[in-house]
Structure 1
Amino acid sequence: MRARPKNVLLLIFVVVALPVFWMSFVIKPDATNEVLVEHRLAEMRERLEFAQNLNKIREHDLKVLQSQFKFMVNSQANLDNHSRASSNESILREMQQALQNYSRQTDHQRIYIPSIFSYLPHLLGNDGSVQPAFKISQNRIGVTMVYGVPTVKRARESYLIRTLEHLVNGLDEQEKEDSLIVIFVGEPFDLEYVKEVGKEIEARLPESVKNGLIEVIAPPASFYPDLNQLQLTLGDPPERVKWRTKQNLDFAFLMLYAKNRGLYYTQLEDDVIAKPGYMATMKNFAINQKNNNWIVLEFSQLGFIGKMFKSQDLPLFAEFFVMFHNDKPVDWLLDNLLTVKYCSPEKSPAHCRKVVAEVRRRYKPSLFQHVGIHSSLKGKTQKLKDKDFAKQDASLIRSHKNPPAELRTSLTVYQKYMLEKAYMGETIFWGLTPEADDTVEFHMKPPVFIQSFLFRSGNREHPGDKFFNTTVEILPASHINDNGAIIENQPGSKMYPEGDKGFLIVGQFNKDGLAQGQIKPEVGEIAVIRLHSQTKGGNWVILSEIMLQTPKR
């Protein structure tokens, strides 16, 4: 039964007008309520625009299907009885030939609008070229935030798992249900590696993959042109032109894949760390903009890290990156697009910067920090750091008065987070992923009695950066002769399990990243206390608290 117009109007009035009347006149005005309503309306406005954009896409798809259906009907009507009885494959061949004939007959009458095929003509006639060649997905849609994380095989250390753990740990349970993290494995010519990455992510973050928070995709090799036949531009060597051209196409593919999955899209990299609570900050920053004419919100000042877009704008950026994929790096193309779109050649550069700043808005302090050292471009070292990254919270550090010691470690130290400063309680110690037999050593100067110890790893901002499978070991002064050589089987050796090189094992880190305990006085003065990694670690490591307590005099 069809609804009457009057009934429809009455229904709209009941659904829309009455709640507004109730909120305006029945509920008492309250400043807090007004702010909440404004935020909700802003979010609903964003979602409405997103839905309208989806409708336009569906309308276009419907027109294409309608056109194809007409051709199918016409082709079927023109077939003779013998053809009607032929197989589906034969019918499809007939239809394809009919379409080609139609195309040849009417080419001179048509005006063709440029599309992605104009810049990547090799994609024509190959639908598989614009579909992922590999995919792990629960097909989650309708979220507020989609995070795109492109990754490639690196010659040295991979930072991907650590980045994903930071992103997941920085979300609360509600945010995990309202987010989607898409990992784009940009190795189309090495599907075995792609599968390995997928298996590792499933093994290390099984719950996030199972519930749909994390997806893994890889593009087909046929999506890319011949990367060995590119025009050399900007005076760059062939290897760099190939690297940045492929990156442009990687980003375009990822954006087009993600465009209908959520309200906003944020581009990240596979070697970043995130400030806890980053999603709430980003969402509030977007909703609280005075107007909605922004096109990019930035949450990091580096490259393409932390760049947030409205999903409805992604086709614009993807098309621009494809159009100039051979010409410039992707972060330069972003700058160029904004200049072309918003700047007048008749105005000054200062005016251009001003108008671009109105649509490209920056949040400070930065929510994402680049931590990778080795670039995805072979042989390139990347030491860029975001100086605006959120300053460390003093409450994350616990200081103690420790005895004098010479400090040594085989771990690679990250930035300024030195072991010496951590020992003095000035900052944390932060080291790259431990290998088996890596150590952090405290050489007592002079040897002292140590009554108890406490080592706390990880902190609230980086809860996953903990020591695991790591023992606490001591070297009694009595185990060293006057020449510094180790003396085996000394008194006190049987009090604790023996390690190597005369060390005794007095404790180990638990699942919470904490190691603490008492040391028997019979051991005597201690020359060295060390943390000894027994296996290769899965994350970087932080020491946020170091306490070596000596007996009170």
Structure 2
Amino acid sequence: MRIYCKTTTRLAVILFILTSLYLSYSHVRKKTNEEENFWLWDTLWSPQEVQTDRLSLNVSVSVLAGVLQQNKKFLTVGLCSVKRKKESYLLDTLQSVFSQSSQKELSEMVVVVHLADFDDNWVKDTVKSISDRFSQQLAQGHLLVIRVAQENYPPLTGLKRNFNDPPDRVTFRSKQNVDYAFLLHFSSSLSQYYIMIEDDVSCAKGFLTAIRHHIQSKGSSPWVTLEFSKLGYIGKLYHSEHLTLLSRFLYLFYQEMPCDFLLSHFRVLLMQSEVIRFKPSLFQHRGIYSSFQGTYNKLKDEDFVEELADNPPADVVTDITAYKDHSPNKAYDQGIEYFWGTSPINEGNFFMVVLHTPVKLSRILIKTGSEDKKDILSSAVVELGETVVRTEGSPKCFGFHKLGVLEGGRFEQRDISGTFHVPVSCLRIRVTDSQLDWVIIQNIQIWTEKQN
């Protein structure tokens, strides 16, 4: 604990110095010439200069494709890409970003791709591939492709081997930190918010709208990072006003630890001690082979849902006793929290979602239990009700029809409107066999039938 406190204090002091220097000396200048667009990152005292080993931060960022817009967007989606030994997923990732967004969402978004490989031929070929496939997005200012020349990078060999990583791994992750530092700094004035993804992900439909709703749900509560995936640094959202500081932070500690570790330290240093993560996840890792040596990578986010639930406004009620502040609504509001009910759970107990307005449903997904398969609701039936009577107490629902049963603590059914034609007022989970274990209801997700 003492060592941790000393480390945290030292980081805080260095960050304060870094911030002070930034406010005193740093500004971004943009210029154009007949050949290329550049963003100039003015010289600033770097950590190596503090240690008497001079390393300049006079960096020119080349815009290889796309049109810089004058108006500020709502969201920047930023990603870095390098040459892979096996499959490349960059074009598919970009296709997912654009195809899963409406025209209105695209008008509020800019995607910035940093081609961070030192192979000139690969960069040239990749720019051509992007230009051929996404010419419209480039012309409309929805997509920018940038690069920083190799001579602008700090030393990437002979670095400290923290975590006992082999030298090639240290070089890879250290360069990755610098890649993102340059990307973040370039993106700092493009939009109100910035989200970080990788070049091998797929996106949930309407992710920008979901992000906006989650930001609004925070109200005036301060935050540094909102997370929309549980994997690494995928889906990490920041205020753009913090990007310049974050880019300096990544650059300052580029050889110390991997990027996701540094992002966690940055969040804590800016006084957000707890992770704020939303469910379902909006981004899924799709790559099979890692960008580091092409090794097999099977990481998947189990909380990802490609088509986000509608979850129309509703009251959530239950006769199961909630543990502390794990209230019933937390199973329905699509946040990271959940309902947790204490035992005994008796036959006939219920958990019910009472919709404010009757709707036709197309799909329902219910998940119970913890990630390690504990506190599962073992025996229950899912029912749909047609009529609600609201009194001074809890609302009452009538006219129930059985839809199905939970299996392994889980229930999912699609195409509900094909068998249940009338608008639904209530969804009820009714316990059919008592259990001694407590019960966790992770989430209840409802999709409504869309009008043609």
Superposed counterparts of 1:284-299, under 5 Å = 284-299=213-228
Superposed counterparts of 1:394-543, under 5 Å = none
1:330 Cα offset (Å): 0.6
More strand by share: 2
Please tell me whether the aligned partners of residues 115 and 123 of structure 2 are also in contact (alpha carbons under 8 angstroms).
Answer: yes
Please tell me whether the aligned partners of residues 149 and 267 of structure 1 are also in contact (alpha carbons under 8 angstroms).
Answer: yes
Q: Render the CA deviation track for 1:251-272: whole Å, top value 9, x for unaligned.
A: 1110000001110000000110
Partner Cα separation in structure 1 for residue 302 and residue 198 of structure 2: 17
Q: Render the CA deviation track for 1:35-75: whole Å, top value 9, x for unaligned.
A: xxxxxxxxxxxxxxxxxxxxxx999679x99xxxxxxxxxx
Please tell me whether the aligned partners of residues 84 and 291 of structure 2 are also in contact (alpha carbons under 8 angstroms).
Answer: yes
Structure 1 pair 119/131, CA: closer, same or farther in 2 (3 Å)? Answer: farther
1:118 Cα offset (Å): 4.4
Partner Cα separation in structure 2 for residue 393 and residue 255 of structure 1: 28
Residue of structure 2 equivalent to 1:327: 256
Please tell me whether the aligned partners of residues 209 and 215 of structure 1 are also in contact (alpha carbons under 8 angstroms).
Answer: yes
1:173 Cα offset (Å): 1.1
1:324 Cα offset (Å): 1.1
Residue of structure 1 equivalent to 2:166: 237
Residue of structure 2 equivalent to 1:356: 273
**Aligned partner of 2:205: which letter?**
P
Residue of structure 2 equivalent to 1:405: none
1:328 Cα offset (Å): 0.4
Superposed counterparts of 1:101-140, under 5 Å = 118=50, 123-124=55-56, 127=58, 130-133=59-62, 135-140=64-69
Residue of structure 1 equivalent to 2:73: 143
Superposed counterparts of 1:30-429, under 5 Å = 118=50, 123-124=55-56, 127=58, 130-133=59-62, 135-140=64-69, 141-187=71-117, 189-342=118-271, 356-357=273-274, 360-390=275-305
Partner Cα separation in structure 2 for residue 258 and residue 170 of structure 1: 22
Partner Cα separation in structure 2 for residue 198 and residue 122 of structure 1: 33
Report SS of the residue matched to 1:216. Answer: strand
Structure 1 pair 314/392, CA: closer, same or farther in 2 (3 Å)? Answer: closer
Please tell me whether the aligned partners of residues 63 and 144 of structure 2 are also in contact (alpha carbons under 8 angstroms).
Answer: no
5+ residue gaps, structure 1: 1-56, 66-111, 343-354, 395-553
Partner Cα separation in structure 1 for residue 209 and residue 305 of structure 2: 15
Structure 1 pair 330/285, CA: closer, same or farther in 2 (3 Å)? Answer: same
Residue of structure 2 equivalent to 1:540: none
Partner Cα separation in structure 1 for residue 64 and residue 202 of structure 2: 25
Please tell me whether the aligned partners of residues 264 and 310 of structure 1 are also in contact (alpha carbons under 8 angstroms).
Answer: yes
Q: Render the CA deviation track for 1:367-422: whole Å, top value 9, x for unaligned.
A: 1000101011004221110011117799xxxxxxxxxxxxxxxxxxxxxxxxxxxx
Partner Cα separation in structure 2 for residue 264 and residue 131 of structure 1: 23
More helix by share: 1
Please tell me whether the aligned partners of residues 235 and 283 of structure 2 are also in contact (alpha carbons under 8 angstroms).
Answer: yes
Q: Render the CA deviation track for 1:208-244: whole Å, top value 9, x for unaligned.
A: 1111111111111012123222222221101100000
Please tell me whether the aligned partners of residues 66 and 144 of structure 2 are also in contact (alpha carbons under 8 angstroms).
Answer: yes
Structure 1 pair 120/258, CA: closer, same or farther in 2 (3 Å)? Answer: farther
Report SS of the residue matched to 1:257. Answer: helix
Report SS of the residue matched to 1:366. Answer: coil
Structure 1 pair 132/393, CA: closer, same or farther in 2 (3 Å)? Answer: closer
5+ residue gaps, structure 2: 1-21, 30-43, 310-452
Partner Cα separation in structure 1 for residue 277 and residue 131 of structure 2: 35
Structure 1 pair 393/285, CA: closer, same or farther in 2 (3 Å)? Answer: closer
Superposed counterparts of 1:12-27, under 5 Å = none
**Aligned partner of 2:235: which letter?**
G
Report SS of the residue matched to 1:234. Answer: helix
Please tell me whether the aligned partners of residues 116 and 319 of structure 1 are also in contact (alpha carbons under 8 angstroms).
Answer: no
Partner Cα separation in structure 2 for residue 119 and residue 209 of structure 1: 42
**Aligned partner of 1:168: which letter?**
F
Structure 1 pair 117/312, CA: closer, same or farther in 2 (3 Å)? Answer: farther
Please tell me whether the aligned partners of residues 167 and 274 of structure 1 are also in contact (alpha carbons under 8 angstroms).
Answer: yes
Partner Cα separation in structure 1 for residue 204 and residue 45 of structure 2: 44
Partner Cα separation in structure 1 for residue 134 and residue 165 of structure 2: 39
Partner Cα separation in structure 2 for residue 142 and residue 391 of structure 1: 28
**Aligned partner of 1:172: which letter?**
S
**Aligned partner of 1:367: which letter?**
L
| TM-score scaled by length of structure 2 | 0.56
Partner Cα separation in structure 1 for residue 53 and residue 179 of structure 2: 17
Q: Render the CA deviation track for 1:77-118: whole Å, top value 9, x for unaligned.
A: xxxxxxxxxxxxxxxxxxxxxxxxxxxxxxxxxxx9767864
Q: Render the CA deviation track for 1:271-327: whole Å, top value 9, x for unaligned.
A: 100011110110121122132411001110100001010000112221221111111
Partner Cα separation in structure 2 for residue 325 and residue 338 of structure 1: 16
Residue of structure 2 equivalent to 1:450: none
Please tell me whether the aligned partners of residues 147 and 267 of structure 1 are also in contact (alpha carbons under 8 angstroms).
Answer: yes
Please tell me whether the aligned partners of residues 119 and 322 of structure 1 are also in contact (alpha carbons under 8 angstroms).
Answer: no
Q: Render the CA deviation track for 1:497-543: whole Å, top value 9, x for unaligned.
A: xxxxxxxxxxxxxxxxxxxxxxxxxxxxxxxxxxxxxxxxxxxxxxx
Partner Cα separation in structure 2 for residue 139 and residue 221 of structure 1: 23
**Aligned partner of 1:374: which letter?**
Y
Q: Render the CA deviation track for 1:318-350: whole Å, top value 9, x for unaligned.
A: 1221111111001011122333443xxxxxxxx
Report SS of the residue matched to 2:163. Answer: coil
Q: Render the CA deviation track for 1:425-455: whole Å, top value 9, x for unaligned.
A: xxxxxxxxxxxxxxxxxxxxxxxxxxxxxxx
Structure 1 pair 256/121, CA: closer, same or farther in 2 (3 Å)? Answer: farther
Please tell me whether the aligned partners of residues 265 and 308 of structure 1 are also in contact (alpha carbons under 8 angstroms).
Answer: yes
**Aligned partner of 2:262: which letter?**
L
1:186 Cα offset (Å): 0.9
Partner Cα separation in structure 2 for residue 153 and residue 290 of structure 1: 41
Please tell me whether the aligned partners of residues 119 and 323 of structure 1 are also in contact (alpha carbons under 8 angstroms).
Answer: no
